[in-house]
Structure 1
């Protein structure tokens, strides 16, 4: 694996024809069926409010069913309907993404003097494509590197693209891969974008968004990654 890593790093500086070392997350195993808990979690009221349930801070059978369905939808385990910190983390992130609205670059962090550029805000787990100050596509939710495999920050360039890529580390498909930093790439996954804890460094996207990025971006286009993913 060390030799493969060396060739991948060399590819970044020398040629885009050598397949890089790829970092991807294997698909999560399907959640096991679990019974609903009768216990209210520390974030019961917040999760009730988000899910449109009566906000009383008390766990009911209907509350638990709604929370459990949310957990199953996004791969949160254990899916027992408990409004704990992991579930609240997903809800809080969704709320903050919604608050960003259609002006994701309002913080001024992503460069506007580079022409077409793909921006990745790790803090909000959002990505978009802009051209100068003009928003071209997005913002869209993304799933970036987990603790220990963080998506590296800074200004980068797309240097290699492979529409039907397969990870040579994990033997999993990485459709619409566009590599911008060693083995880190934009690519689609068949997972919720809010599935914790995150990828092995890549910027995961839905198939729809990965296809759009594939159409919009080209080798040599800039990518700017900034912020810090919650929990990393």
Structure 2
């Protein structure tokens, strides 16, 4: 899970900003408007002391305390999804948002830090986050779930019996269901404007593990055909570009491991329901 929530992150950012502007102290006025003793800013995890005394003339300058780390590799959650969406806005990340702080996110943060003269740790600390906030806008739902991952829509009533690939165009997800029980879900995308994916009830009539389209000369791994030339299959383009692209009518899956497992379970004759 992410180390801290968004509200805590915002508080930390404010604290860092005050620390930078006021040398880690701010002068807080009394009710009568007069200045009282300095108020020291303390980040989470510090001892609460006012800090080391000023060095004596000629003594070595004490080392600065590194900024507080908000998120690092291995963390996950909605905060990480927002971080990834903001990195995408300024061209430092092309995968995701996935909600998991993976190696690609770490490299993107390092690049962002290097460009701005910050320590290249790959961790998102309070200073890095403040700089990123200043250069990006609040991501909307579309940006946060650009690569899929949104909750699957409720199953269509036609999906509640038998073995069914229950595919929702609204949530852009596929549910693999057996007798009303959801076995797995995965993000999908559909046909482009002039080559829409057909809606209705169909059945898998042919499976082709290493299929290549004879019409478009493009690979369609793990293809499971359900309506003419339309199939559920893995898409390298979807994995790389997300919803920026589209298919020629097929149902594209971006998670190769997920569709490989699905391909092994689905049989010819299994039902396919494509619905809104």
SS at structure 2 position matched to 1:111: helix
Q: 1:110 to 1:197 in 2, by over 3 A?
A: farther
TM-score by length of 1: 0.57
Shift of 1:96: 8.3
CA offsets per residue over residues 9-51 of structure 1, 9 Å max, x none?
Answer: xxxxxxxxxxxxxxxxxxxxxxxxxxxxxxxxxxxxxxx9953
Q: Which position in structure 2 is the counterpart of 1:115?
A: 162
For the pair shown, the structure with the greater C-alpha radius of gyration is 2
Structure 1 residues 221 and 197: alpha-carbon distance in aligned structure 2, compared to 1, 3 A threshold: same
Choose from 196, 199, 203 the match for 2:244: 196
Contact 2:190 2:249 in 1 (8 A): yes
Structure 2, unpaired ranges of 5+: 1-78, 97-134
Going from structure 1 to structure 2, the CA distance change for 1:65 and 1:181 (only over 3 Å counts) comes to: closer
Q: In the alignment, which of 129, 133, 144 is matched to residue 176 of structure 2? A: 129
1:45-70 Cα shifts (integer Å, max 9, x gaps): xxx995339xxxxxxxxx67763134
SS at match of 2:260: helix
Residue pairs, 1:1-232, within 5 angstroms: 51-52=82-83, 67-70=90-93, 72-73=94-95, 90-91=142-143, 93-94=145-146, 97-98=149-150, 100=151, 104=152, 107-137=154-184, 139-193=185-239, 194-205=242-253, 206-227=255-276
Contact 1:97–1:124 (CA<8 Å) still a contact in 2? no
Does the CA-based 8 Å contact 2:172-2:189 persist in structure 1?
yes
Q: Is this contact kept in 1: 2:191–2:250, CA < 8 A?
A: yes
Greater relative contact order (Cα < 8 A, sep 6+): 1
Aligned length: 156
**RMSD of aligned alpha carbons:** 3.2
Query: How far does residue 186 in structure 1 lie from its aligned partner after superposition?
Result: 0.9
CA contact (8 A) 1:188 1:204 kept: yes
Q: Answer whether contact 1:93 1:124 (CA < 8 A) is retained.
A: no
- Structure 1 gap ranges (5+): 1-47, 54-62, 75-81, 228-232
